[in-house]
Amino acid sequence: MTLIDLRTKQCIFCAETIQSEAIKCRFCGEFLNTAKAKALEAAAEANEDCDEEEGSENDKILFAGRPSLWGIVADMAIGAFFCVIGGLLVGLPIEQMLGLELTVSQTGMVAQYRVLAGLGIISVVASILAVKVIRLKMIYYEVTPDRIEWSRGILDRRVDNLDMFRVVDLKLRRSPLDCIMGVGTVGLITTDKTDPKFDFEKVRDCRLLYDVIKKASLEADRTTGVVHLE
């Protein structure tokens, strides 16, 4: 019993489908075992290898991270201050310390309102800080050679991306407290209509991020031939 090879390939000259063992294309009539054909096959394989390397390079993650909690240290300090005030309202008999002349019923009423006010302040401050922490932790940044992607949102999760060649300018902003905490904000000015201005908020390694985006945006401009006009 003779086995028939049913495998096929594309003709290197006309791209028609022919049998894999064919030495001459039945469509264009070109011979597939000549030096010219072998050179074309080698060039095609080299182009495929370049495309694969370029694709893997574009998928390479240059930076990934979230805003640091050190970025809200000032908010936490203010929140701690108000929590201390709330604790004092709850624990200290301020009406007695002030020497107010009140009846027993009035003293009890004032004490009740004082405790409620203190607990209310602590609850509000704790809620605000919790929302800030959750909001920061729900933000995620990812930078590759050809785009910037970020996701954010607590209940309504959103994911957006920005092409690297759309970056026009970038700035690094660090307050004295940011320098102490080791964080910073990298701001971008872009030609994207949805996000003309975008900030990487309070991230660690902010200088590294700045250099990465600057280099990647210049390379993207060179590759795509984009020229940004002032």
pLDDT tens sequence across 191-223: 888 888 889 989 988 999 999 999 999 888 888
Q: 100 or 170: whose pLDDT is higher?
A: 170
- Are 143 and 212 within 8 A, CB to CB? yes
Q: Tell me the one-letter amino acid at 145.
A: P
Handedness of CA 27, 29, 34, 36 (dihedral sign): negative
Asked whether residue 123 falls in the same domain as residue 148, the answer is no
Closest to 181 in 3D by CA, of 215, 156, 205: 205
CA gap 206, 97 in Å, rounded: 50
CA gap 111, 211 in Å, rounded: 58
Taking residues 1-10, report their average pLDDT: 62
Q: What is the pLDDT of residue 210?
A: 93
Q: What is the pLDDT of residue 22?
A: 83
Which of 83, 106, 136 is the C-terminal boundary of a domain? 136
Q: Tell me the one-letter amino acid at 83.
A: C
Asked whether residue 162 falls in the same domain as residue 214, the answer is yes
Q: How confident is the model at residue 49 (pLDDT cuts 50, 70, 90)?
A: low
Domain-located, residue 174 = yes
Q: Residue 148 belongs to a domain with what CATH number? A: 2.30.29.30
Q: Tell whether the model's pLDDT for residue 4 goes beyond 70.
A: no
Asked whether residue 147 falls in the same domain as residue 194, the answer is yes
On average, the pLDDT of the chain sits at 83
Taking residues 153-173, report their average pLDDT: 85
CA gap 5, 19 in Å, rounded: 8
- Return the percentage of the chain with pLDDT > 90, whole number: 27
**Pair of tokens at residue 74:** 């000032």
Structural domain count, the chain: 3
Which of 90, 115, 136 is the C-terminal boundary of a domain? 136
Q: Which helix (H) or strand (E) holds 149?
A: strand 147-152
Question: What's the domain range around 84?
Answer: 71-136
**Alpha carbon of 180 to those of 47, 73, 83, 204: distances in Å?**
50, 11, 24, 12
Q: Tell whether the model's pLDDT for residue 86 goes beyond 50.
A: yes
Domain-located, residue 44 = no
pTM of the predicted model as reported, rounded to 2 decimal places: 0.62
Q: How confident is the model at residue 44 (pLDDT cuts 50, 70, 90)?
A: low
CA gap 159, 144 in Å, rounded: 15
Q: Which of 53-57, 124-128, 148-152, 157-161 has the lowest mean pLDDT?
A: 53-57
